[in-house]
Amino acid sequence: MNWTTTLYVGLAAAAGSCIALQASANGKFRQNLAAGAADSAPDYLGPAWASYFSICGTILCATVAMLVIRPPLPTREAFQSTQWWNWIGGPLGALIVLAGATLTPRLGAAVFIAAVVGGQILSSMLLDHFGLMGLPQQPLSVGRVVGAVLVVGGVACVKWL
């Protein structure tokens, strides 16, 4: 493994830390917002508001970054040539934020993130194996399957041991 690969793996691990911190912060945010809500407010409003305000923070940060970096606007043709699934990142991100705000206080950060990683590894292997969403095809191998089984086993260990 060369130094750039090592750097990229380190950056990915740092992003993983951010996901754990985000889920924990959103979970506590949900609890704080629910505690301040009217007694008649339904339970789902805490996670909904926590997710909404978290995503507002994302929009604010992205807007500031765009104002500082000032990248050129993509062409109309570039927008029109994108596949439909290129646009699902935002809604999927919102679902992840909502899941973190809802489930982290119930499961704990470690179990939530372990389950997220288990789901990520399984779906990623399917995406790679079939070369879906423009990814290069990387067939399943014994090593990859064993690795996925170990990750799923890790989820079970974090939850029940």
What is the pTM for the complete model shown? 0.79
Give the residue, 123 or 42, on which the prediction is more confident: 123
42: Cα separation from own chain's centroid: 26
Number of domain units in the chain:
1
Residue 70 clears pLDDT 90, i.e. is over it:
yes
Q: Which residues contact 118 (CB under 8 A, 6 or more apart)?
A: 151, 152, 154, 155
pLDDT band for position 146 (cuts 50, 70, 90): very high
pLDDT band for position 37 (cuts 50, 70, 90): low
Residue with tokens 């973190």: 100
Q: pLDDT of 4-35, one tens digit each? A: 999 998 898 898 888 888 988 888 888 888 77
Predicted pLDDT at 159: 82
Residue 56 clears pLDDT 70, i.e. is over it:
yes
CA distance 149 to 146: 5
CA distance 139 to 127: 10
Full domain range(s) for residue 80: 3-160
Predicted pLDDT at 19: 87
Give per-residue burial for 27-59: e unless 16+ CB within 10 Å, then b: bebbbebbeeeeeeeeeeebbbbbbeebbeeee
Residue 41 clears pLDDT 70, i.e. is over it:
no
Q: pLDDT of 82-93, one tens digit each? A: 999 899 988 998
